[in-house]
Chain A
Amino acid sequence: MTFPPDKYLQGKFNNERKSPPPEVWNRIQTGLDQRKSKRTWFRSAAAAAIILLLAATFTLWQVNKPSNTNPLISSGKTNVEETTVENSNSTRPTDTEKQIATNNIPNEVNTPDPIQSNQPNKKKQNTIQTDNEISEKITSTQTKEEIPLAVTLSKPDSLAGLVTLAEEPVVMPPQTGKKIYYSAAEVNARFLKKKDTSTPPSPEKNESGIQRILDIAYDLKFSESALGELRQYKNDILSIPGKKSQGKTN
């Protein structure tokens, strides 16, 4: 007897059936339920982890969030902003009305801000407001004759007064490609000499030393001061020898 060929075996075993015991299905069901619960647990754990991560990130971001959004470091913006500057000396209102035309300031760039160029109706008010009246005058004069000023922060002394920005930040042009935007308060604090405009300067401070010496000399000459009286007294004393000589002669 020889062993049958493969095709015979394939035909025989192809229809072979044998029922498995019933506990096999129970084991399959149990395994499926366990895997399902494991999958559910894993998904919920993953979701919780993601939520925790997001919450932690948000919290850290809130903690490390800078209080002042300026200076903004950005690229792609022009580094010049047009401003109108007025003198802040309240004691000389005539000077405030003379707005400084800073077009003559060297190193200035009059490139308009692209953001503001899109809003032509919006007035840039980088003005110094020492009191309400002056600010009203400033706004009125700005609407009539708007004198742009390119604030070059490399030469802050060229500006007589403080520079304040109403809404827009003043642009600091760094030498590298990045631009740093400063608010007006920061510009004043960092680069400009603050002057106490609350109290008007005394007239004595306005007079120079030479003038004061000349005034004293004038007073002495025309006896308009205590020294003048003293001088008169001295002259009276000095006139006595002449009288004595007259007496002797007499």
Chain B
Amino acid sequence: MKFTIYRASEQDMINGCLRGDRGAQKRLYDTYSPKMYALCNRYLKDPMQAQDALVTAFTRIFEKINQYSGQGSLEGWIKIIVIREALTIIRKNQHFRFEAELETIENLAGFQNESDPFELEYLLHLIQELPQGYRTIFNLYAIEGFSHKEIAEQLHISENTSKSQLSRARVFLQQLLLKHDNIQTTKRNDISTR
């Protein structure tokens, strides 16, 4: 019953957006924008770029809402558009690099994760510390669930490049995690010696 109500309200929103109803557009935006803004923040480290991606993506969503067939979930359709816009901004700003230095990581030492070692904000912080190329492929493969073939098509790279960059991203995250763990251990030892 809940599902039926949800589908009905979603269909109303879609119909309103098709008519260009600003109220329906606002409802759609309020429903999906928090999730999509978090997604943009995972792909784009700069908050302003994340907002730009969100604005462009929702503008396109309202214009192309007639292309939504209704077979898949609306959220999945919106998510694909937002990811594409984020990738467009990444390509446009030429931040798509695959090299990184572990020493360039900032602000990781001051992060506290005593209650939950894999707290969401902590994990997001770790991922955001990844270089742009690593982060993009890690987001697409490990979190969104795209295959290497799909990633290669989206980013105009080969599948082997996608695979190698993903493995390097994992190693990088592991080193990042160990480094942060060492920092936390030394902090605890210092407190105990006092």
Contacts and interface: CB of A to CB of B under 8 A. Distances in A.
Contact of B143 (A9, A25, A28): A9
B120 A2 contact: no
Interface residues of A, number: 26
A17 B178 contact: no
Given A3-B170, A32-B62, A19 B34 contact: yes
A28 to B, nearest CB: 5
A106 interface: no
Given A9-B143, A13-B42, A24 B118 contact: no
**B interface secondary structure, majority:** helix
Interface residues of B, number: 35
Contacts of A2: 174, 177
Contacts of B181: 1
A9 B144 CA distance: 10
Contacts of B117: 1
Given A6-B142, A9-B142, A28-B29, 19 more contacts: A1-B117, A1-B178, A2-B174, A3-B170, A3-B173, A8-B118, A12-B118, A13-B38, A13-B120, A13-B143, A16-B42, A16-B124, A18-B34, A20-B37, A27-B55, A28-B62, A31-B55, A31-B59, A35-B63
A25 B55 CA distance: 7
Contacts of A19: 33-34, 37
Interface string B18-37: 00101001100100011101
A1 B116 CA distance: 13
Contacts of A12: 118, 120, 123
Given A6-B142, A18-B41, A24 B170 contact: no
A133 to B, nearest CB: 80
Interface in B127-167: 141-143, 145
A120 interface: no
A24 B58 CA distance: 10
B59 A24 contact: no
8 contacts: A3-B173, A6-B142, A10-B143, A12-B118, A13-B120, A13-B123, A19-B34, A28-B62
A52 B145 CA distance: 55
Contacts of A28: 29, 55, 58-59, 62
A136 B97 CA distance: 104
Interface in A1-52: 1-4, 6, 8-10, 12-13, 16-21, 23-25, 27-29, 31-32, 35-36
Interface of A: 1-4, 6, 8-10, 12-13, 16-21, 23-25, 27-29, 31-32, 35-36
Contact of A20 (B54, B59, B123, B143): B54
Given A10-B143, A31-B55, A3 B177 contact: yes
A6 B34 contact: no
Contacts of A25: 26, 29, 33
A26 to B, nearest CB: 10
Contacts of B33: 19-20, 24-25
B55 A10 contact: no
Contacts of B25: 32
A16 B51 contact: no
A23 B51 CA distance: 9
A31 B58 CA distance: 10
Given A2-B174, A19-B37, A24 B124 contact: no
A19 B37 CA distance: 7
Contacts of B124: 13, 16
A35 B56 CA distance: 12
A35 B118 CA distance: 44
Contacts of A9: 123, 142-143
B58 to A, nearest CB: 5
Nearest to B139: A13
B7 to A, nearest CB: 20
Contact of A16 (B22, B29, B35, B59): B35
A10 B120 CA distance: 11
Contact of A24 (B39, B54, B63): B54
A18 B37 CA distance: 6
